[in-house]
Structure 1
Amino acid sequence: MRMLRWFCGHIRRDRVRNEEIRARVGVAPIEEKLIQHRLRWFGHVQRRPPEAPVHSGVLKRSDNVKRGRPRLTWDATVKRDLKEWNIAKELAMDRSAWRLAINVPEP
Structure 2
Amino acid sequence: MTYGSETWSLTMGLIRRLRVTQRAMERAMLGVSLRDQIRNEEIRRRTRVTDIAQRVAKLKWQWAGHIARRTDGRWGLKVLEWRPRTGKRSVGRPQTRWTDDIRRVAGSRWRQAAQDRALWNSLQKTYVQQWTSIG
Q: TM-score, normalised by structure 1?
A: 0.63
The size of the alignment, in residue pairs, is 100
Distance 2:123 2:90 in 1: 37
In structure 2, what is the equivalent of residue 36 of structure 1? 58
* Residues 1:81 and 1:4: Cα distance change in structure 2 (over 3 Å): farther
TM-score norm. by structure 2 comes to 0.53
Indicate conservation of the 8 Å contact 1:47/1:93, yes or no: no
* Alpha carbons 1:46, 1:93 under 8 Å: kept: no
Instruction: Specify the SS of the correspondent of 2:99.
Output: helix
User: Contact (CA 8 Å) 2:105, 2:123: kept in 1 or not?
Assistant: no
Q: RMSD in angstroms over aligned alpha carbons?
A: 3.6
In the alignment, is residue 65 of structure 1 matched against residue 89 of structure 2? yes
Picking from 69, 77, 101, the partner of 2:101 is 77
Matched, 1:24 2:46: yes
State the AA in 1 paired with 2:101. Answer: T
State the 1:14 CA deviation.
Answer: 1.3
Unpaired segments of 5 or more residues in structure 2? 1-22, 129-135
The one-letter amino acid of 1:73's match is R
